[in-house]
Amino acid sequence: MPPARKRPRAYDSAKIRAAVLAQSALLAEAAGALTPEQLDRPTRLGDWTVRDLTAHLATVLGSVVRDLDEPAPPRAETALMEWPFRAAGAIDEDSGAPAGEGDPAEGLARSAARLGEALAAAGDDRPVPTRFGPMRLGDLLVTRTVELVVHTDDLNEATGLSVPLDRQALAACTRLLADALALKAPGGAVEVRIPPYAVVQCVEGPRHTRGTPPNVVETDPLTWVRLAAGRTGWAEELGAARVGASGERADLAGLLPILG
């Protein structure tokens, strides 16, 4: 388990809450317009269909609502930056499970609507139970941006839709996964740039202090999210010029994915 950052990144609570609600609303609207044929399409998530993915999204949001209805745990025990490593391989661990009965799009719309009401009545410091231990609500909501952004991209890939990504949701998701890389491979030999949202240094070796870094990786936010979540591979994105890498240490293939 990588050591905790001495100075963890701070997130603006109001922006994170707005981002989660905005991305949830975008997904609910898109799901409500899906045809039966689209709901039955396969996804890149094992045996999951679009119907299963939609049901999972309803569960992702509904679980926050249900947990806020329960008595709060005595304290939050899981730090935000522990989540990417505990969630590695588990963000899709229910892949292949049946969607269950009922209309998944209606379930998603209902969960998205109830989420706003639940968040309005709870502060960021309230401990919320998770499968990895209780977390602060404010931290949990940052992790929800990862779930929502990654699965919005999954939905778009499976259906051919263009559900937009809320800017703040994409920013938080990008930053959390970039910081997780820096924890996974601590050091200062490689500078990873994901404009306009994040720059981190990682990998053991000579630390760069001035001028142009000798080892640089640069990509766009969505490509980074796909790499970090295991939706695509390093060689594929490098070959397609969606990733730029310069320097003998600028090879992240062995460090990715973060969540996969």
| pLDDT one-digit tens code per residue, 205-220 | 876 666 677 899 999 9
Residue 250 clears pLDDT 70, i.e. is over it? yes
Residue 1 clears pLDDT 70, i.e. is over it? no
**pLDDT for the residue 94:** 47
Closest CA to 259 of 236, 229, 217: 229
For the chain, report the end-to-end CA distance as a whole number of angstroms: 15
Give dist(CA 151, CA 45) in Å, integer: 10
| pLDDT one-digit tens code per residue, 90-131 | 655 544 444 455 789 999 999 999 999 999 999 999 999 998
In the chain the domains, ranked by start, together with CATH numbers, are: 13-168 (1.20.120.450), 170-255 (3.30.1050.40)
Mean pLDDT to the nearest integer, 172-183: 98
| Chain mean pLDDT for the chain | 91
Mean pLDDT to the nearest integer, 37-56: 96
Query: Bridge partners of 202?
Result: 190
| pLDDT one-digit tens code per residue, 132-175 | 999 999 999 999 999 999 999 999 999 999 999 999 999 999 99
